[in-house]
Amino acid sequence: MHGMINKSIEDLVTIQFGADKWEAVKKKAGVTETAFVSNQSYPDAMTYGLVGAATEVLGLTADQVLYAFGEFWVTHTAFKGYGDMLMSAGRTIGEFLDYLPLFHTRVALIFPNLKPPRFECSDRHENGITLHYFSDRPGLSMVVVGMLNGISKLYKTPAVVTHTKFKDKGADHDEFLVNWGAADQK
């Protein structure tokens, strides 16, 4: 898993719940890293372990943690590390989401040791888009929902995200409808 994901979990827990909680999460997950480096690859099991430990330490459900993490990833961690790049990805939420597949293609090109998820866009229209999410990593669709809400906040464009296809219920991938109404302005 991309180091930025773990870093984001660390930032989320530390900023919103306190450093002692983060130390408790790390201890519970058996993680000994002092800090994570964004573009380094870490074992997926470590990330799942951190999420699992966070649910226990913080008293939240896995979905709550994953959603919070997804949103936080966009608004804080990714914004902090890739803010200019993120904001250059589109003038509007629509342009941004349309660029998302290409962004991940480029991540895979730059970091061949990482295994980013794949996105596709369809049904583009003025106030919405359908986003298709393909990943071999199970159970992370709530992260995507959180991220989409984060992007909506980043572009100051209120949006409604609807999870329409579920891989864990038999579909070949997850699908999300993102609608932002008429307020798409930036």
Answer for which of 59, 110, 136, 182 binds other proteins (CB under 8 A) is: 110
Comparison of 52 and 103: residue with beta carbon closer to other proteins: 103
The answer to whether 40 contacts other proteins (rule: CB under 8 A) is yes
The answer to whether 84 contacts other proteins (rule: CB under 8 A) is yes
The answer to whether 87 contacts other proteins (rule: CB under 8 A) is yes
Residues 2-21 that bind other proteins (CB under 8 A): 3-4, 7
Comparison of 110 and 170: residue with beta carbon closer to other proteins: 110
What separation in angstroms does the CA of 185 have from each of 72, 81, 130, 146, 150?
22, 24, 19, 21, 16
Answer for which of 90, 94, 117, 128 binds other proteins (CB under 8 A) is: 90
Report H helices in 18-92: 19-29, 44-58, 62-72, 79-87
The answer to whether 101 contacts other proteins (rule: CB under 8 A) is no
- Measured distance CA(116)–CA(101) in Å, rounded: 11
The answer to whether 156 contacts other proteins (rule: CB under 8 A) is no
Q: What angle do CA 157, 165, 163 make, to 5 degrees?
A: 30
Least Å distance between CB 155 and other proteins?
Answer: 13
Q: Are 62 and 68 in contact (CB under 8 A)?
A: no
Residue in the block written with tokens 């040791």: 113
The answer to whether 91 contacts other proteins (rule: CB under 8 A) is yes
Task: Give the SS3 label for residue 166.
Answer: coil
Q: How far, rounded to the nearest angstrom, does the alpha carbon of residue 161 sit from its chain's CA centroid?
A: 14
Query: What is the contact surface with other proteins in residues (CB under 8 A)?
Result: 3-4, 7, 34-40, 81-82, 84-85, 87-91, 95, 98-99, 102-103, 106-107, 109-111
